[in-house]
Structure 1
Amino acid sequence: MTVDRVPVPGGDIAVEINSGTSAPILVVHGVSSQRMLWGWLREQAPHLTLVAPDLRGRGDSVDVTGPSSLGRHAQDLDAVLDALGLDAVHVCGMSMGAFVSVEFAARYPSRVKSLVLVDGGVPVGPPAGLTRDNVAAVFADKVAQSQRRWNDVDDYVDFLVSTSMPLLDRADPLLRKYAEHDLADGSPRLSSAAVVADATDVFFGDSRFRELTMPIRFLHAQWSVGADSAPMYSAQDIDALDLTAISPMVGLDHAGTVMTPVGAAAVGAMIDEAVVSRPD
């Protein structure tokens, strides 16, 4: 494993590279996440070569300044591939990272061999009650809840599980490693301005999904947050899709699609399918 720093407008993006035997896979995390999201995928599919950035405003890239948006992230990813000497890659994005992946593929189609989208990326309406006028208040409040000082990583893990990750195992060492990467001197490394801007873009921006022509594989969770919660994508949303492959993730919620062994294994299998279908 190596961590590179890639210059972008406003600072340097941190990029972790985990070398395996596969072609490179660019993996893109969600709106309030960071690159340790992919720890479960590394464990379940160690043969995959993962290129995992911390997006601006998160983790080791928290101090990158300037406005945040799906388009800005796409430009940052373009700079990452340039810096690593990669002409084209398979791309896997989860949640907001899937929407970033779609924007990246629309802007730079020659750089994307295929897309694997995990519970995101496919256009969807905003959650009930969320409007362009209140998105700043809703998401800023969610970030503020986490940005108290945490004197104990275990307390922070308990907070994550009790709020947004109720089906995860508190004792999972990968979850603790994820939490440790979140924190610096006890405070989460997450820009509320970036979260608000990116969430606004996801739900109220113009999606370029319909422009894409490369193979697209889509995995979707049965639930959103916790068992029996309404999913992000309805059955009607799924039925309307015509993609290379669509896979339901039964018994998993949004976080569990990647942050559990069974979810990560399913994502790894879908990536393998993409790589085998286009090995060049």
Structure 2
Amino acid sequence: MSSGPTPYQELTVPVPGGDLTVLRWPATEPDAPTVLALHGITANALAWSEVARRLAGRATLIAPDLRGRAASRTVTGPYGLARHADDVAALVAALDLGPVRLTGHSMGAWIAALATVRHPGLASSLLLVDGAVSFPLPVGVTEDAALAAVLGPALARLSMTFPDRDAYREFWQRHPAFAGRWPAGFEEYIQRDLIGTEPELRSSCVPEAIRQDGGEVLLDKDAAGAVHRLPLPAELLWAERGLMDEPQGLYDPGRLAFAGLDPERVRATLVPGTNHYTIVAGQAGAEQIVRRLLAG
């Protein structure tokens, strides 16, 4: 059990290859809905801590550490988005959750969309957060170049070591996405990622998992097509700015139009003043997420 203002329970669920670690923030209201939230490619379950704080017991929030990350790092491969989607279905069955209000951020959005396609009836609603919509590679850009551009910064961090936990905090505080806006609860999130002993602490993420999952986010046709085959309506919340707080985010009206989303099935909504990270970790983004999750 955590000791912070939004206490959670830590559970394990058996999946092929090991036990998936799952965090559960229980509801405090009767007949409250259940939300299942999936994190991004190098994140962990505590990426949803600000959302949990703002839910304030009005829903039960379930968030796994996906295989190859944090407390689920010992769950073996194969990795890949379909494997994660099937893990989600196994989790829902093991905990007898019934249809859940499903959401995912970044890579978690691709997994959430794919999970609803592979397991119809899994979700009663679907909220995609700055992810799930793919685009063809630009002319002249090879697959290897695209992977290097997207995964390069993440893989570089995974190969780094840190002398102590303060050094890891300072690393993240220098990140452009958080300049001058260190989110509440982010400390516990980043510390959950660390393994090893001082002076050689490192990220818990398994590099093989990051490479395979990242490649599928960019290139896997089933994952890319999931958002066009959803068995239920969904909403996409997209951040105004990018991963490094650059003005161009992952999405904009032109890119979304080019993607050919069916507006009757996927409603796309801008969340102003957010970047790819703060749309979940920051107050403004988390508040928009909570409103949608409670509305179902």
Assess same fold via TM > 0.5.
Answer: yes
Counterpart selection for 1:12 from 8, 19, 41: 19
Map of 1:110 onto structure 2: 121
Maintained 8 Å contact 1:165/1:225: yes
Maintained 8 Å contact 1:166/1:225: no
- In structure 2, distance between residues paired with 1:129 and 1:150: 38
Counterpart selection for 1:154 from 147, 157, 166: 166
Matched residue SS, 1:165? helix
Equivalences, count: 273
What's the C-alpha RMSD, in Å, of the aligned pairs?
2.2
Map of 1:218 onto structure 2: 236
Residues 242-251 or 183-192, more deviating: 242-251
- In structure 2, distance between residues paired with 1:234 and 1:152: 39
Superposed counterparts of 1:224-263, under 5 Å: 224-239=242-257, 240-241=260-261, 242=263, 243=265, 245-263=267-285
Matched residue SS, 2:177? coil
1:36: how far off?
A: 0.6
> Partner amino acid for 1:203?
L
1:87: how far off?
A: 2.5
Map of 1:145 onto structure 2: 157
Tell me: CA distance 1:57–1:128, structure 2 relative to 1, closer, same or farther (3 Å): farther
Superposed counterparts of 1:118-133, under 5 Å: 118-125=129-136, 131-133=142-144
Identity of aligned residues (%): 28
In structure 1, list runs of 5 or more residues that go unmatched.
275-280
Report whether the alignment pairs 1:272 with 2:294. Answer: yes
- In structure 2, distance between residues paired with 1:104 and 1:168: 36
- In structure 1, distance between residues paired with 2:33 and 2:230: 22
- In structure 2, distance between residues paired with 1:31 and 1:87: 26
Map of 1:31 onto structure 2: 41
Q: TM-score, normalised by structure 2?
A: 0.85
Maintained 8 Å contact 1:99/1:120: yes
Maintained 8 Å contact 1:157/1:175: no
Maintained 8 Å contact 2:245/2:276: no
Residues 32-41 or 221-230, more deviating: 221-230
1:127: how far off?
A: 8.2
Q: TM-score, normalised by structure 1?
A: 0.89
Tell me: CA distance 1:57–1:168, structure 2 relative to 1, closer, same or farther (3 Å): farther
- CA deviation digits over 1:11-68, x for unaligned, max 9? 1100111111321111000001000100110112212211100000001001111121
Matched residue SS, 1:77? helix
Residues 86-95 or 227-236, more deviating: 227-236
Tell me: CA distance 1:134–1:174, structure 2 relative to 1, closer, same or farther (3 Å): same
